[in-house]
Amino acid sequence: MSLKKILIIDFGSQFTQLIARRVRELGVYSEIISHKKKINFSNKDIIGIILSGGPLNVYQTKKVSFDKKILNQDIPVLGICFGHQIISKELGGKVKQSKFREFGLVNIKKNKESVLTKNFFNRDGKNNVWMSHSDQVTKLPKNFEKVASSTNSKFCIIQNKHKKFYGIQFHPEVTHTHNGIKLIKNFLFFICKSKKNWSSKKQKEKIIEEIKKQVGHSKVICALSGGVDSSVVAKIIHKAIGKNLICIFVNTGLLRKNEEIQVVKTFKQKLKIKLIYVNAKNLFIKKLKKVNDPEKKRKIIGNLFIKIFEKYSKKFQISSI
């Protein structure tokens, strides 16, 4: 049975991963999907939807795709920044370019009580929040009401209590917004009626058990770049299968100074994981010489890394990750 979850629609915000982190820190499972993908509502496991911020304008119709079924599922929706604007636009409100762009800390004031803002405002009905927008909602959709405003943004927080649609012009997920986590908490537990169903410890234990079942007594090769992602994967696999894990660490020469020494020392001495070290930094630097385009660099690094890893992994007739 799949977990009840909060679905986060990503419109390209630099804070999207942070939204997911905040939700999970509150003990609720969340997933991120691109705004370009269609959503499967048939499983009934989505109990709330958060629309992220983003760098685009809601009227850039060729670049912005939005599944309008989201607003017809009887599921609570919270729009943040760009998400706030797209809810307003899709439901008949108006969004225009602001005369004054708001970026940084902005003081907002409460205009109306809301379940979303319980324990969010100070005693004087005000709060400092983190803004980052050049467009703003100028006309509310039908049946929406204003909950909070700032000097330059008339509709900082809006709501349709009947539909359980909420819009926030600022970013509650960042620490700069005072009490921002309380907005997210209120949305999860009072509006979506979420129950705590996730923790990093339980997730780790689940993954370890799944690896044990899948691998059994076989051996596994894991590619290491020295970064966080592959290192965490290696440690979890090692926790599951122990000595049956072999790591191939390909030094691309693109790590910080002496970091490759630290990686080798950590895996061999501290974690006691079998490690094969491949010093390929000269080859990577040679391939990247005179290449200025970042995307071309990324492809060169990725393709060469895979090529070297496959070369060394062929020495072992076992599974690879």
Task: Indicate which residues carry an active-site annotation.
Answer: 81, 171, 173
260-267 own/partner pairs: CB under 8 Å, 24+ apart: 260/226, 263/224, 263/226, 263/231, 267/224, 267/234
Instruction: Kindly state the tokens that stand for 236.
Output: 């979890």
Q: Chain centroid to CA 197: how far?
A: 18
**In whole angstroms, what is the distance from residue 196 CA to residue 129 CA?**
27
Query: How does DSSP assign 108-151, residue by residue?
Result: EEE-S--STTTTTS-TTSEEEEEEEEEEEEEEPPTT-EEEEE-S
Strands 274-279 and 145-149: what pairing? unpaired
